[in-house]
A and B are shown apart, each in its own frame.
Chain A
């Protein structure tokens, strides 16, 4: 799949974008499917950002990788209230992909980021999701492949969140 996306791309960013686009429709469908599979009592649509992220962090990750994601954090930066981070210490998609040295910027978890983006969009929380590797590649590091998915919601989502919170 990666090599399919790699054909006729101009750079790493372009390639990641393509992987992202491949994941997007999967996310849209998984949202509906997974909610349908929940026990009837818990079949509620996510109404706020936290609920969506919880859904991704737990239900989606369990479905895709058989375990919940490793961490879910809000950005520390006060100026960026719209950014959230989901981190995975060892993304399954990167396990058997060896990235050549000259492309060390590339993170193929961009595909998973696309799925996450699809879920957010589908639930009515338009967002941009990008994957970043934070492992420094040093020897003896605990999680060399640690990846952070940065979820940046669009302004209107945050606005609506505040409005709904008031009522």
Chain B
């Protein structure tokens, strides 16, 4: 499973992005997007913003679950009180022919299972916590790009831990 994670500000401007792969089931944490598909990720994520705007007024929850899919890419969303959106695009790797029975139960191969949903929620919760800590910096203004290496490393850690 490969992931592309983006944080978008209130003006739908990107504040942070990060691409990684699964670390579960012996994954090495490297994203394996097909070379032609890789640059499409940003488009897919941004195109799901319309759906976010529809869903966001229906529920007060921050975790909006899986909101969109584009062929083999699934987009999950978390929205903060300040209207900042965390979007995670996950695309399952092609089913491996060597060991199909084992792969099908892992979260990596099954983007619609409740286990995946929970794992993504845990990931978002952790990122949200760190996000709050980061934007509480007195020098941070709304819709500013986040460049903090500490924040980035914590997102990386959260990705390793849960996905």
Chain A residues engaging chain B, CB cutoff 8 angstroms: 25, 28-29, 31-33, 35-36, 43-47, 51, 122-124, 160, 164
Given A45-B56, A160-B57, 11 more pairs with CB closer than 8 A:
A29-B135, A32-B81, A32-B132, A33-B132, A44-B61, A44-B62, A46-B81, A47-B59, A51-B60, A122-B81, A122-B82
A45 lies within 8 A of B60 (CB): yes
CB of B60 within 8 A of CB of A44, answer: yes
Q: Is the interface of B mostly helix, strand, loop or mixed?
A: loop
Q: For residue B140, which residue of chain A has the nearest CB?
A: A29
The one of A28, A31, A43, A51 in contact with B62, judged by C-beta atoms closer than 8 angstroms, is: A43
Q: What would 14 A/B residue contacts be, using CB atoms closer than 8 Å?
A: A25-B141, A28-B142, A31-B81, A32-B81, A36-B128, A36-B132, A45-B60, A47-B57, A47-B60, A51-B60, A122-B82, A122-B83, A123-B81, A160-B57
Q: Is B42 an interface residue (CB 8 A)?
A: no
Size of the chain B interface, CB-CB below 8 angstroms? 18
The residues of A that contact B80 with a CB separation of less than 8 Å are: 32, 35, 45
4 nearest interchain CB pairs? A44-B60, A35-B81, A122-B82, A32-B82
- The distance in angstroms between the C-alpha atoms of A142 and B136, with both chains bound, is 39
Q: Give bound CA distance, A102 to B103, whole Å.
A: 78
Bound form: Cα–Cα A160–B50 in Å: 16
With a cutoff of 8 Å between Cβ atoms, the chain B residues found around residue A47 in the complex are: 57, 59-60
Give bound CA distance, A51 to B57, whole Å: 13
Which residues on A sit within 8 Å (CB–CB) of B81?
31-32, 35-36, 45-46, 122-123
Report how far A29 CA is from B129 CA in the complex, Å. Answer: 14
CB distance from B157 to the nearest CB of A (A): 19
